[in-house]
Amino acid sequence: MISSSFDYARATSLDDAIKRLGAAGGAAKLVAGGHSLVPLMKLRLSEPQALIDIARIKALSNISELDGHIEIGATAVHHAVATSKLLRRQCPGVADAAGEIGDPQVRNRGTLGGSLAHADPAADYPAVMLAVDAEIHLKGPKGWRMVRADGFFQGLFTVDLAPDEIIAGVRFAPAPVSAYAKLRQRASHYAIVGVAAALQVNDGTIQSARVGLTGAGAHAVRLSSVERALAGQPLTDAVIASAAGHAGAEVTHLNADIHASEDYRRAMIPVFTRRALEGAMRRA
Amino acid sequence: MPQISITVNGKVRKARVEPRLLLVHFLREQLLLTGTHVGCDTSQCGACTVLIDGRSAKSCTIFAVQASGSKVTTIEGLATDGALHPLQEGFWEEHGLQCGYCTPGMILSAVNLLKDTPRPTERQIREGIAGNFCRCTGYQHIVNAIQHAAKKGLPKRAKRARRTPKAAASAATGGR
Amino acid sequence: MAAIPVLPKLVGERVKRREDPRLIQGRATYVDDITIAGMKHLVFKRSDIAHGRIRSIDTTAAEAMDGVDAVFTGAEIAEFLPPMPIGTPFPSPPHHSVAVDVVRYVGDPVAVVVARDRYAAKDAADAIVVEYDALPAVVDLERAMTGQPAVIHADFPNNLAVALVPGGTGVDGAMNVDDTAVDKAFAEADVVISQRMMNHRLVPNAIEPRGVVAHYEPGKESMTIWSSTQNPHILRSMIAALNGLGQHQVRAIAPEVGGGFGSKINIYGEDYVASAISKRLGEPVKWIEERSEAFVATTHGRDILGYVELAAKQDGTVLGLRLRLIADIGAYNMLLTAAIPTLTMLMVSGTYRIPAIRATITEVFTNKTPTDAYRGAGRPEATYFVERAMDMLASKLNMDPAELRRRNFIQPAEFPFATQMGAVYDSGDYDKALTAALKLADWDRLKAERDAAKAEGRLVGLGLAMYVEVCGLGPSSSLPTGGWEHSQVTIERDGRISATTGASPHGQGNETTFAQMLADQFGVPIEHVTILHGDTGVVKQGIGTFGSRSQAVGGAALHMAGGKVKTKMARFAAAMLEAHEDDLVFENGTIAVKGAPASGKSFADVAAFAYVPVPLPAGLEPGLSEEAFFEPSNNTYPFGCHISMLEIDRETGEPTLLKLVAVDDAGNLINPMIVEGQIHGGLAQGIGQAMVEEAVYGDDGQLLTGSFMDYAIPRATDFPRFELGATVTPTPVNPLGAKGVGEAGTLGSTPCIVAAAVDALSGFGVTHIDMMLRPEKLWRIIQGGQS
């Protein structure tokens, strides 16, 4: 498999990348790890006229805590996220999800920003971004823009990102009581169903819950009815089981393929919702 | 065509390449380092695994231009000063290969694994090579080979246990 | 004279592989590593529909592209390349290397580009525009047999490639069928098991895709062809034939070959096209398969439907077996396609004394990639059908599966044993293998563990399967190429040994095992022995590597040639020592009179004398080089017992293999380490079939599992640590007593895993589950049943 021809340039800074992206007038694509884009280019399903490489913009790969919030740069690779001590402590669900992506080599190259921009319906990250209520920080020629994960994933491979904008990073509050659980498609290791859960727990009571679902439909969504069923309840197995029991009932369109029918996917949503919640509970 | 400069197995290699040239093709066809293999086209099989700046990566999913400025280690660069790398030794000792096609990538993934986890459990070994397909061995002897190397520890460049054996001249070639 | 160092015996030892140093250092040469100055690259344009008439092919844009030398359509190729021959006696429709008028499967080539490099060739192939008049895709096997929705080949009504060939009890040489005995067995039965079973389609997926470099040199009128093949000598014959050359004008080389598993036995259209284009252009050309091509362009395996009926007495004695086999062979007959299901038929008696068997085969064309040999090739299917039926019988009789099998085993004293299918099993002790496996697995404890797990609500099951395989193929009557193997052993002038073998390996380790044998035979260090293979310019004759024949046939030929040269060398040594040749021993690098090692001559001195024999001993020619063709009198029949323990996730249906125990009897072993590797690999592919691998076609004939994203290759994380044991029952068929072991792992593992899954789900009323064990399938059983 060999890609079509294209021009290549390396951006020296975020602003340089934005300038180049603008100059290309929609014909260029950004590349960092390339693990979403390069396979598509090799299949010639994506044929950009130019690639702008942002992998070496240092500031974009940081994982840090600032003013009580966690920030992950767009070019942070999955391996860095999965093994970050900060994230393991403050947002283990995010690290879990990163560690479930692909395989070791993919995790060494693939990036958070690439995964979010590509928005594969079976990608792992979108579910946790919903669960931690991440702000996705974008920059374009007109400056910065912030979108909440909730509004970012809009459809199949479709996100709220203009062609001249770049994902610079994500920001979210610590979510130490969080986890990710996934049913793997056994060939690709993508998610047939993946559920991320983040709980705010005070004195054994769930103050609030956020649950993100990936793999099941055209794009990742929140499981609001599960969230509502948990809020204000004591954190117990019974509460979790009950809240998870009807998870996904509101999801109208479910994917179906040779690996999992619509029925099976639907049935797996409560199972993995419960498993994600149980995983989170173990961290409370 | 952009100029690239990649340090491959310790040697700076400069070239002008088409941006779409895959790193694996640059290594194989321009540098003639044919130990890195291509086994699939969807970034799954891991036969093309090399180390980029010390970490395992699938060289079929990276354009050579992206690797410019990086240090790349291929299977040809793993033995140091005539001594086999402990993983190469382990694969030989424990019959960790049959047809040998997945072996270079498998070994480089194992290098990455042992760097992160010097004393891995069997489960960690199996997860560490989950990005590499082997169709011949059922993986058991590969796991043994990695355990063998883990027991010995990664080289500190000083260990020179064994001279590199000469590659037996293949009777069945003649193309190059 | 200094003390002579004692050389250890190597046969039977875990000798480290001599192949490995080049492989672990990236210094081996696979076909894609070969570069010849001026070499052009080929890329094929392939059909993206399953069935259709080619309306037009527009190559103008492609031909005009930078770096493109030529573009050939199928019709143009057909002007200088005849259709592909096959190796079976069944009628076969014409099969062009590149489709001429009709495409019959997704991946069928329609044109080929010749260009400066693979990038340019790929761009040009993309620019070829093909228009088709689509025809209905024939996908469903049993519908295909009624000629619906289309007939794929005009001369094959109802898509029947092979129509209802009978075999077994009461079938005579003219295929007249007398069903009396079989009908009687079923009439007298207390219990009858009846089950439809699908042994589904697999994609072999050697990690090295196929590839070929062809170099015709007009000045020399000779062709050199490198191909990733299991059998360079067959390649040479066929490349010569289709290019109008003599075999002496073609040199075929199998360089390092990255796995085959049966899929590299065939001589493929791409091999023929590369050779023909090189001859036509007078330039070297290379074609390297991409993985996405390999999924559709390299033969698939299995895909045999079996209707199985088993008749038995209440005490478990099996009285009769009926088996109707229907094979989905895809769009064309390839080299051995039609023969594979005949191996299934041959082996359906399994390890059992079944007094009456009626089997039939029907082979059906569909719009899919052609099938052919895939590791096991027909025998895993046979094992699967008979073992599943035995399990169902055990379950119905409420009998331990081991006990039921024991009651029906062919007994050691009955060998050689002729089955109702015409196989003559050479040797066996099935109870010994079963007993060893039960002991190694600790069967009773496993049963207790399973019961305890089930009591906790876990879905844990146990499975057991016996197998017997036909290996060491075979007498020349059974193979169109001849079934012998060839070797030449040369003692060089310095006493070093070069030996050739026609058994061309691709991971089997012949360079090591064969050197072990010669080192022992001549009493010399293994470092003094080199095994040459895979090059018809070096290896005079050969058949190749398939059907677990390397050791049983190739090794036997090597042993014979070694024996011949040893006899001659002894005569030279006898002349030097003034001794009788029968009194000489070869050991520790010397040839000496028995009991007087110090008086001997060094091996190298005797070799030197043989090449400068002054005086020449009477009746001898100078030199030490002898060849042998070994013709086996029969196939070999290795056997074994596999046991598995499996757990199914009650909520998701995901199966996890907890344990796999394999006791295999391959006769005498040359290198147990290499044998273990072969068994592990076979197990991996058998478990792969049972648990994760399946080629799935859509109703439109598209392969839905056309990449590793959808077709799962088992990963290291999918397996537990295998537990291996062995029994040794040598074969009388060859002087080594070795039976062959390459495919064995695929036979027992699949039925024993399915048996474990059925056992795990026994509470839901299932008695059989078709492979593969897709989580959703198991989940549905769990949802549908009560427990």
Both C684 and C598 in a single domain? no
DSSP state of C81: S
Interface of C with B in 268-307 (CB under 8 A): 290-292
User: In this model, does residue B30 exceed pLDDT 90?
Assistant: yes
C18-35 mean pLDDT = 98
**Which pLDDT value is given to residue C3?**
60
Is A253 contained in some domain? Answer: yes
User: In this model, does residue A126 exceed pLDDT 50?
Assistant: yes
Distance from CA of C585 to the nearest CA of A (A): 57
Is C427 contained in some domain? Answer: yes
Both C102 and C43 in a single domain? yes
Nearest to B27 by CA among B37, B18, B19, B16: B37
Both C72 and C104 in a single domain? yes
Q: Closest chain B residue to A10 measured between Cα atoms?
A: B66
pLDDT digits (tens, 9 = 90+) for C125-149: 999 999 999 999 999 999 999 999 9
Pull the structure tokens for residue C574.
């006898």
**Which pLDDT value is given to residue B156?**
63
C332-356 mean pLDDT = 97
pLDDT-derived band at C785 (thresholds 50, 70, 90) equals low
pLDDT digits (tens, 9 = 90+) for C32-89: 999 999 999 999 999 999 999 999 999 999 999 999 999 999 999 999 999 999 999 9
**Which pLDDT value is given to residue B166?**
42
Establish, for the pair of chains A and C, how many residue pairs have beta carbons separated by less than 8 Å.
Answer: 44
Q: What is the CATH number of the domain that holds A46?
A: 3.30.43.10
Both C446 and C495 in a single domain? no
**Which pLDDT value is given to residue C494?**
98
Domain end point (choices C297, C314, C346): C297
Both A101 and A42 in a single domain? no
Nearest-5° angle of CA C627, CA C632, CA C634?
A: 180
Q: What is the CATH number of the domain that holds C740?
A: 3.30.365.10
Both A209 and A268 in a single domain? yes
Phi, psi of C503, deg, nearest 5: -80, 100
Both C120 and C228 in a single domain? yes
Greater confidence, B161 or A144?
A144
CB distance B47 to B38 below 8 Å: yes
Greater confidence, C560 or B162?
C560
Residue C397: HSE in the Cβ half-sphere, 13 Å Cα cutoff: 28
pLDDT digits (tens, 9 = 90+) for B83-136: 999 999 999 999 999 999 999 999 999 999 999 999 999 999 999 999 999 999
pLDDT-derived band at C8 (thresholds 50, 70, 90) equals confident
Both A214 and A249 in a single domain? yes
**Which pLDDT value is given to residue C135?**
98
Phi, psi of C234, deg, nearest 5: -70, -40
pLDDT digits (tens, 9 = 90+) for A177-188: 999 999 999 999
Regarding the domain with residue range B86-152, which homologous superfamily does it belong to in the CATH classification? [2Fe-2S]-binding domain (1.10.150.120)
| Nearest residue, CB atoms, C292 vs list A1, A259, A271 | A1
* Alpha carbon distances (Å) from B70 to A112, B4, B32, B66, B74: 21, 10, 19, 9, 13
Which chains does chain A touch, 3 or more C-beta pairs < 8 A?
B, C
**Which pLDDT value is given to residue B164?**
44
In chain C, % of residues over pLDDT 70: 99
Long-range Cβ contacts of A16-22 (<8 Å, 24+ apart)? A17/A52, A17/A54, A17/A57, A17/A166, A18/A139, A18/A140, A18/A141, A18/A164, A18/A165, A18/A166, A20/A52, A21/A52, A21/A163, A21/A164, A21/A166, A22/A141, A22/A164
The residue segments making up the domain with residue A153 are 58-172
Helix (H, G, I), strand (E, B) or coil at C786: coil
Distance from CA of B99 to the nearest CA of C (A): 4
With a CB cutoff of 8 Å and minimum separation 6, the contacts of C406 are: C431, C434
Question: What are the chain C neighbours of B1 within 8 Å (beta carbons)?
Answer: none
- The full length of chain B comes to 176
Cis status of the peptide bond prior to C474, with omega within 30 of 0: yes
User: Domain map of chain B by residue range?
Assistant: 3-77, 86-152
Is C233 contained in some domain? Answer: yes
Both C456 and C560 in a single domain? no
pLDDT digits (tens, 9 = 90+) for C452-468: 999 999 999 999 999 99
CB distance C646 to C461 below 8 Å: yes
Both C285 and C385 in a single domain? no
CB distance C369 to C300 below 8 Å: yes
pLDDT-derived band at A58 (thresholds 50, 70, 90) equals confident
Three-state SS string across C208-267, please? CCCEEEEEEECCCCEEEEEECCCCHHHHHHHHHHHCCCCHHHEEEECCECCCCCCCCCCC
Handedness of CA A198, A200, A203, A206 (dihedral sign): negative
**Which pLDDT value is given to residue C658?**
98
Both C47 and C99 in a single domain? yes
User: In this model, does residue B158 exceed pLDDT 60?
Assistant: no
CB of C119 within 8 Å of a chain A CB? The answer is yes
The residue segments making up the domain with residue C70 are 37-135+208-258+264-297
Both A102 and A153 in a single domain? yes
With a CB cutoff of 8 Å and minimum separation 6, the contacts of C478 are: C635
Question: What are the chain C neighbours of A2 within 8 Å (beta carbons)?
Answer: 118-119, 122-123
pLDDT digits (tens, 9 = 90+) for C682-724: 999 999 999 999 999 999 999 999 999 999 999 999 999 999 9
The number of domains in chain C is 3
Domain end point (choices A148, A172, A196): A172
A117 membership: H or E segment, kind and range: helix A112-118
Question: What are the chain A neighbours of B43 within 8 Å (beta carbons)?
Answer: 35, 38-39, 102, 106
Nearest to C305 by CA among C201, C404, C185: C201
- Best mutation site among B20, B59, B123, B134 for testing chain A: the one with the most A CBs within 10 Å? B20
Question: What are the chain A neighbours of C708 within 8 Å (beta carbons)?
Answer: 187-188
| Nearest residue, CB atoms, C681 vs list B132, B136, B171 | B136
Both A144 and A62 in a single domain? yes
**Which pLDDT value is given to residue B160?**
42
With a CB cutoff of 8 Å and minimum separation 6, the contacts of C37 are: none
- Best mutation site among A108, A118, A189 for testing chain B: the one with the most B CBs within 10 Å? A108
In C469-622, at which residue ranges do the beta strands (DSSP E only) sit? 485-491, 497-501, 529-533, 584-587, 590-593, 601-602
With a CB cutoff of 8 Å and minimum separation 6, the contacts of C393 are: C191, C193, C310, C312, C316, C318, C399, C404
Both A216 and A126 in a single domain? no
Question: What are the chain B neighbours of A41 within 8 Å (beta carbons)?
Answer: 20
How high does pLDDT run on average in chain C?
A: 97
Both A148 and A248 in a single domain? no
Domain end point (choices C630, C649, C683): C630
pLDDT-derived band at C4 (thresholds 50, 70, 90) equals low
How high does pLDDT run on average in chain A?
A: 97
Interface of C with B in 641-660 (CB under 8 A): none
pLDDT-derived band at A125 (thresholds 50, 70, 90) equals very high
Both A132 and A196 in a single domain? no
CB distance C156 to C364 below 8 Å: no
Pull the structure tokens for residue C486.
């060839």
pLDDT-derived band at C597 (thresholds 50, 70, 90) equals confident
The number of domains in chain A is 3
Domain boundaries B3-77, corresponding CATH code: 3.10.20.30
Question: What are the chain C neighbours of A188 within 8 Å (beta carbons)?
Answer: 708-710
**Which pLDDT value is given to residue C38?**
96
Is C144 contained in some domain? Answer: no
The burial of B114, by beta-carbon neighbours within 10 Å (0-12 exposed, 13-18 middle, 19 or more buried), is given as: buried
Is A43 contained in some domain? Answer: yes
Same fold, B3-77 and B86-152: no
Which residues, listed in sequence order, are joined to residue C132 by a DSSP beta bridge?
C54
CB distance A265 to A255 below 8 Å: yes
In chain A, % of residues over pLDDT 90: 98
**Which pLDDT value is given to residue C627?**
98
